[in-house]
Structure 1
Amino acid sequence: MSIENYNTFWSIINDNKIEIPTIQRDYTYGRKSATTIREKLVADIINSIIVPNPLNLDFVYGKLLGKENHITQERNKNNIRSLLKTIKLYASDLNIEISDEVVSRNAKLEGKINFIPLDGQQRLTTLFLIHWYIAQRNNDVIALSSLNKFSYSTRLSSKEFCKILCFKQYNFDSKTDSVSDLISNSEEYFSSWKKDPTVNSMLIVIDEIHKLFKSKDVDYKDCWNKLTNENLITFDFFDLDDFELTDDLYIKMNARGRHLTNFEIFKSWLIKDYDGVILEDDWKKKFDIKWYDLFWKAKEKSIYKIDSEFLQHFKILFLGDYMKSQNSNDSRMNDDAELENYDTETLDLDDFKSVIGILRKKDSNPLEIFQNYDLFKDKINEYVEILDLASSVAFINQDQLLKKYIDTDLFKLLFGEKLNKLTWWDTTLHYAITRYLLKVENNSTYFSEWVRVISNLIYNTKIDTPKLFIEAIRSIDLLIDRVDSKNIYQVINTLREEEMIFFSPSQKTEEIFKAQLIVQDNRWEKLFIEAENHIYFYGQIGFIFKLCNSPIDINTFTINYTKVASLFSEEVLNDTTFLLTRSLLAIGDCFYINGNERIFNSNVRGTLRNRTENWRKFFDSKLNFIETIINRPDFNANNIIQSLNSIIKTEFPNSKGKYHGKFVNNYKLFLYAKKNIIRQHNKNYYLLNSTRISGYFVELYTYAWFLKNEKGCSIIPKYEISYDYVKGQDNEPGIVFKKGDLTINLRRNHNTKKYYIHKEKQLLEFKTIEEFIDSIK
């Protein structure tokens, strides 16, 4: 058939193969988001066949690869035919009969020409499925054989699925509920194909076709005739003979539809340009099956595509290698905020901020970076090797290993949606894990031990800028070289702190000490894992050792850990009455002193900074308070809330009259000091609503009395009571008593500790608030 007549699906498939190229996206009409367009297109085509009514489906663009051979063959046939005619004229004069008919060994190059669609893939695939459905209903083996020339090259599973559709005759009729179930339950169907979005979409569209046909009285032989001979469903065919098959061309021609994902473009580029660079056996096949499965298994239930995570794998790995090549002393490396807000729509390859911004940001396109840095080509075999190694590594106790640090497990850190939102700490851990796998290859005996130790070091060290990230991963490289595939604890046990550069000194000391204990008695490891996974300790448990007598034994450590674990349990930390702080204050003044400020702890624990500036600081400087509480005979770890309330009740009389005692019996005082700051000025204490005295503040003693009596005071029922919140160091807050037109402001003198009012230009002082109230009854 002439190319000019390629205006129907059947006219093309009869003469050629139709191959959806690797550069194309998946078949999408089965997606939930495409419900409307799917239902309309299928209904329009089927109605057009049945009515009948001609339907044009717009332009289809593509390349006919191999047509040059067809054109050459036709030209040769014409030349031979002309030659034979000339010979025939001479032969007739000699009374010799010669035929001028030219018989071609191949009448046509059927299947020898590949049609590569660049735009129209979704419509062509839908037409393929409708042709397939009608051919199946007619049991037309010849038609199915022709349809077998339709194929997908995007994934091996898509290609194989198209083959089995046309290879097998499925026995279904109008009484069949689901054709997709019939197909997916057949022995030729592989369960792994469920992960292929193109296969899933095809099955959904087949069911849509079946639903519409079964509701109508249809003669399928007549439908086939109308579909293949009467040219009811047409499109305008355009052969892009003057263009090269490039990504840019596809994107321009397909601008009115959905573009390729960045991963699909990246994958196509790898297949085209890295065929001789990537040394892994069957790497193209593994992209679609073995490695694809890693990301599929790690995906969340609500996510149906893993392209972003797959591409992020390469971006994050390259980020580490790229960063190591940079100068960590560049002052700009200290400013992560600038990088977070960097415009990733444009790329300056000479500006590391631009490169880092694109490599870290979800859905950004790194292709230009990969193309322009030889470092990517140098490292690509390591990046695919990591995928292969991860496929065989047993992620031992993955839930427990990282429970304390991230909101997902280890497997999802490496291959799940978490990849798209890694902090610098997470990125450092990702580097440490993947590079360790490369180092030990298939010897993952001590993998879980490595993850435990390195995550403790990483998440208890400040790593929140590019500079600190570079220093961290350089240190990790040295440590990986040192531990190699050996027993982690035995190696750490022999290290000196100065040999573990960069990381927090206290955490290095702790990890070395814990390794020494584990080497002596491996029962320690299980206990350490439990303690490190505590919701507040986050791998840092060195303070518990200080609560134990020397020499440290497992039983004493277990007892002390159980007690402090309950003291910092979720139940206590989520208490809104500042129960833990008040129980400690009942024992003594445990506020931090910073000049003229008194600071109390917050229970927030989301970041290393949160923990370091609050209870972790308490562990270092005021551990004696914790020791006193947990060693009390009335301390009960099994009923911690009741136990702490009992301690407050018992100890409150001893703190009564002292400034910190005001807080013990009145938790609402903490609520006003939103920044946890109390300012001392001579003998007065002020609760700051912000970090400075220029913001609003209240005075401790007057405000404590007000909180208890703000709803009314029975001894002065005629007065309305309110509080005068002030700001600025020249103002003094206090209680306001109002009766009719009379307003009395009661303040506390920060020098004399007495309360005063101004009355008729006189200053009247009182030792207590009660004494003042007696005076106005």
Structure 2
Amino acid sequence: MKVKVSQIIIPKIQRPYAQGRLDGVCTYIRNTLLNEMFENFKTDEIFDFNFIYGIVRPSNDEYVMELLDGQQRMTTLFLVYWYIANCELTEDEEENKVIRDALHRFVYETRSTSTVFCHKLASYRIDLSGQTPSKVIRQAKWYFKSFDRDSTITAMLTMLDAIHERYINQDNKALYTKLANIQFYVKSLGFFNLSEELYIKMNARGLQLSPFENFKADLTNYIGGIDYPPFKEQVPLYCKDSEEQVEFHFNFSVKLDAKWIDIFWRKGFENFDASYMSFFSRFFACKYIISTKDIINDRDMRQDSTLRKIYTDAESRTEANEYLGFQEFKSILTNHPEYVLTLDKVLDTFYQYDFKDSKKAIYEMLVPTWEKPSLEGDDFYSNINTKMTHIKLITFGAVIEFIEAFKSFDTEAFKQWMRIVWNVVENTNIDSLTPVSSLIRKFSAIIHSIAKRLSDGDSFYYALSLWKEDNTDERENRALLEEVLKASRIAENDEWLPIFEDAEKHPYFRGMVMFFYKEGMSLSDYQHSLSLAKDMFDESGISPAYRQDHLLIRAIASQFVTWDDIRNRFITERAETNKY
């Protein structure tokens, strides 16, 4: 049903206007937006304000829209129209009357003072000869001192001064005709039965724009504005009971606020924006490492400035509520716009298999099997209260690449993939971003190789067993080579799998269970050797019976017959005081 919207309302539940605030984040947003807008005024091109959407409801004999998303941009647009109309149109001109009438239909309900201010400003005319708008407006008879205590009003005055500064430095002082070039798309969600809970979630982000809100606006503006065919494809709108088709980029923006937000909201709204932002920082860190594999070597990743900005420094920026800006992310997406499609797929998968119906299929696999008795799972991907580490970034990258590589999410294949990932990670020395980069790139290559072979009809483990044939890297990870060897035995006889899985759970072996394996060893011989090895070691190292009188170490030492056998080897045990 099509209706004419006669009024736009900023409802009480919305946060105050923030683009006029003086903190670093809001100043960056204000300057960027106004610089782009006034630069666009020099041309006849459309200035895209992207989508605004909200709930349309009847009011008397008319319809009004309560904004869910777009409050900041619409408020700035209200101020730009007011300023230019004030400077360029006379009171009697018909265009002035049309604009003033429209401005009166923009209603701010966040506070009663905001409501009164916007109503008064809509019809107010001032002379700006040599003075700033804020100074003149504060001297108006209708301006109450209490207005200074309303953060929305003070932010609006700051924005008007910023608009004024750019206008007086603009060569062209006839910008009224350019205002029509500022365009946006309007989408009503009022007829799609979105719950009030969504409304609350979208507006529970505190009094100022969070880094994630700024990032979200930049990201949705970017994907809505570039000429990339998949972003323009028609897809079903994510909304309850809706059969409407919309372009992918709009549906993506709706899911950011209407669907995926639930993944991060489940811990409560106090820091869900920060968790959301951290998810994107970590996602792009992994993708940046993978996308630069032919440009930046693993060793140089330790000093790479881009990775430092989007990952290493991101955690501290989150705590300080600072926004990096979109340039680094834009640079990645310019070369790889398909990463947005991966994002869409990854977040949908997390929602479907980890949030919806509390399945937690991914969550449960984010700790290794030998830690299962003490840890149920790890939700570091959606919870900033869980400390981020290099190991977790590698694991997150492995999850992303698995989801991307397969057309659909297979929980059993994912379980086996994460088993391999944890075995390799646990048995690799990860002391800097060099091994982090190496493993993220390695896992990406492996899982895409496996996925391709599976699409050709091969089994998971047979595909992994062929990795050495698919790989040209001469310096292969030792732990990975062990997994390839295990895969070859499982591909021959799947009875090996539960035996390996049981062995890998040992709290001391932690995934590396081929140290007693001999080439061509039978399953029964392996099980016998495993039972002996389990007896010799406990979670602390050598078990007491074999530690007494250094029995196991003496037995090992007795097998060496030349000095070369023990050169560069350290035969000791953790409990030994004089290890040297």
Query: Structure 2-normalised TM-score?
Result: 0.54
Q: Which residue of 2 aligns with 1:235?
A: 147
Contact 1:591–1:598 (CA under 8 A) maintained in structure 2? no
Q: Give 1:75 shift.
A: 3.4
Superposed CA offset, 1:515-568 (max 9, x none) = 23433443433332232232222211113545x994223xx6556545544543
Q: Is the 8 A contact 1:263 1:308 kept in 2?
A: yes
Is 1:260 paired with 2:179?
Answer: no
Contact 2:288 2:307 in 1 (8 A): no
Structural mapping, 1:351-750, within 5 Å:
352-353=304-305, 355-356=307-308, 358-361=310-313, 362-364=315-317, 365-367=323-325, 368-373=327-332, 374-375=334-335, 377=337, 379-393=339-353, 396=361, 398-399=363-364, 402-404=367-369, 412-417=379-384, 421-423=388-390, 425-444=391-410, 446-484=413-451, 486=454, 487-496=459-468, 499=471, 501=473, 506-546=478-518, 550-553=521-524, 557-558=526-527, 560-562=529-531, 564-565=533-534, 567-570=536-539, 579=544, 582-583=547-548, 585-586=550-551, 589=554, 600-602=572-574, 670-671=576-577, 673=578, 676-677=579-580
Structure showing greater relative contact order (alpha-carbon pairs closer than 8 Å, 6 or more residues apart) = 2
Is the 2:370–2:504 contact (alpha carbons within 8 Å) kept by the matching residues of 1? no
CA distance in 1: counterparts of 2:568 and 2:250, whole angstroms: 69
Equivalent AA in structure 2 for residue 112 of structure 1: R
CA contact (8 A) 1:70 1:109 kept: no
User: Per-residue displacement from partner, 1:359-378 (whole Å, max 9, x unpaired)?
Assistant: 22314344242245533656
Q: What one-letter code is carried by the residue in structure 2 that aligns with 1:264? A: E
Secondary structure at the counterpart of residue 17 of structure 1? strand
CA distance, structure 2, for counterparts of residue 500 and residue 410 of structure 1: 35
CA separation in 2, counterparts of 1:492 and 1:107?
Answer: 69
Distance 1:114 1:363, change over 3 A: farther
What is the distance in 2 between the residues matched to 1:77 and 1:499? 73
Q: Distance in 1 between matches of 2:569 and 2:84?
A: 89
- Cα deviation code 1:436-495 (max 9, x no counterpart): 211213242522222222332343234444444444344334323321162311212344
Q: Deviations over 1:329-381 (max 9, x none)?
A: 97892684xx5xxxxxxxxxxxx246435422314344242245533656333
- State the distance in 2 between where 1:429 and 1:581 align: 36
Q: Label 1:234 to 1:434 Cα distance change in 2 as closer, same or farther (>3 A).
A: same
Instruction: Quote the residue 1:631 is aligned against.
Output: none
Partner of 2:239: none
Change (3 A) 1:598 1:428: closer
**Residue 105 of structure 2: which of 106, 112, 119 is its match?**
112
Q: Is the 8 A contact 1:456 1:540 kept in 2?
A: yes
CA 1:242–1:482: 2 relative to 1, 3 Å: same
What are structure 1's unaligned runs of at least 5 residues? 1-14, 26-60, 81-103, 116-123, 132-145, 147-230, 247-256, 340-351, 604-669, 678-777
Q: What is the one-letter code of the residue matched to 2:160? A: D
Equivalent position amino acid for 1:17 in 2: I
Give identity over the alignment, percent. Answer: 18
Matches within 5 A, 1:140-155: none
Residue type at the aligned position of 2:258 = I
Of the candidates 10, 18, 36, which is equivalent to residue 18 of structure 1?
10
Contact 2:284 2:310 (8 Å CA) reproduced: no
Q: 1:70 to 1:232 in 2, by over 3 A?
A: closer
Q: Per-residue displacement from partner, 1:55-112 (whole Å, max 9, x unpaired)?
A: xxxxxx98745658998897358999xxxxxxxxxxxxxxxxxxxxxxx9x9966962
The question of 1:269 aligning with 2:254 is answered no
Shift in CA distance, 293/533, structure 1 to aligned 2, threshold 3 Å = farther
Aligned 8 A contact 1:497 1:508 in 2: no
2:251 to 282, 290, 294: 282
- Alignment match, 2:92: 75
Residues 640-691 of structure 1, C-alpha deviations (whole Å, 9 max, x = no match): xxxxxxxxxxxxxxxxxxxxxxxxxxxxxx44x3xx22xxxxxxxxxxxxxx
| Counterpart code for 1:360 | T
Provide the secondary structure at the position in 1 that maps to 2:554: coil
Cα offset, 1:397, TM superposition: 7.5
Q: Is the Cα–Cα contact under 8 Å of residues 518 and 524 in structure 1 kept in the other structure? A: yes
Q: Residue 96 of structure 1 aligns with which residue?
A: none
Q: Distance in 2 between matches of 1:496 and 1:464?
A: 26
Name which of 281, 292, 295 aligns with 1:315: 281
Q: 1:31 matched to which residue of 2?
A: none
Quote how far apart the aligned CAs of 1:308 are. Answer: 2.8
Matched residue, 1:723? none
Change (3 A) 1:438 1:602: same
For 2:414 and 2:280, the matched residues in 1 are separated by 22
Preserved CA contact (<8 Å) 1:440 1:484? yes
Q: Shift of residue 585 of structure 1?
A: 1.1
Per-residue CA deviation, residues 565-585 of structure 1 (Å, 9 max, x unaligned), is 454334x55x9xx83663261
Distance 1:285 1:516, change over 3 A: same
- 1:79 and 1:488 map into 2 onto residues whose CA distance is 70
Quick one: structure 1 residues 442 and 356, their matched pair in 2 at CA, closer, same or farther if it must change by over 3 Å?
Answer: same
* CA root-mean-square deviation: 5.1
User: Which digits, 9 at most, give the CA deviation of each residue in 1:126-169, with x for residues without a partner?
Assistant: 7699x9xxxxxxxxxxxxxx9xxxxxxxxxxxxxxxxxxxxxxx
Distance 1:112 1:465, change over 3 A: same
> Quick one: distance in 2 between partners of 1:388 and 1:107?
44
Aligned mates of 1:288, 1:518 — CA distance in 2: 44
Tell me: CA distance 1:476–1:354, structure 2 relative to 1, closer, same or farther (3 Å). closer
Structure 2 unaligned runs (5+)?
Answer: 1-6, 20-74, 120-142, 166-205, 232-247, 318-322, 355-359, 558-562
Matched, 1:292 2:261: yes
Q: Per the alignment, do residues 293 and 503 of structure 1 end up closer, same or farther by CA in structure 2, a change over 3 Å counting?
A: farther
User: Could you tell me whether the CA contact under 8 Å between 1:439 and 1:480 is conserved in 2?
Assistant: yes
Aligned in 2, Cα 1:18/1:306: closer, same or farther, shift over 3 Å?
Answer: closer
Q: Please say if residues 263 and 311 of structure 1, whose CA atoms lie closer than 8 Å, have aligned partners that are also in contact.
A: yes
Highest CA radius of gyration, 1 or 2?
Answer: 1
Per-residue Cα deviation, 1:202-258 (whole angstroms, up to 9, x for no partner):
xxxxxxxxxxxxxxxxxxxxxxxxxxxxx9994245644354599xxxxxxxxxx97
Count of aligned residue pairs for this structure pair: 394
Shift, 1:591, TM fit: 8.1
Name the CA distance, whole Å, in 2 between partners of 1:378 and 1:560: 49
- Quickly say closer, same or farther: Cα 1:62–1:501, change in 2 above 3 A: closer
Structure-2 separation of matches of 1:107 and 1:280 = 34
Tell me: CA distance 1:269–1:244, structure 2 relative to 1, closer, same or farther (3 Å).
Answer: farther
Contact in 1 for aligned 2:349/2:403 (Cα 8 Å): yes
Q: Secondary structure of 2:263's partner?
A: helix
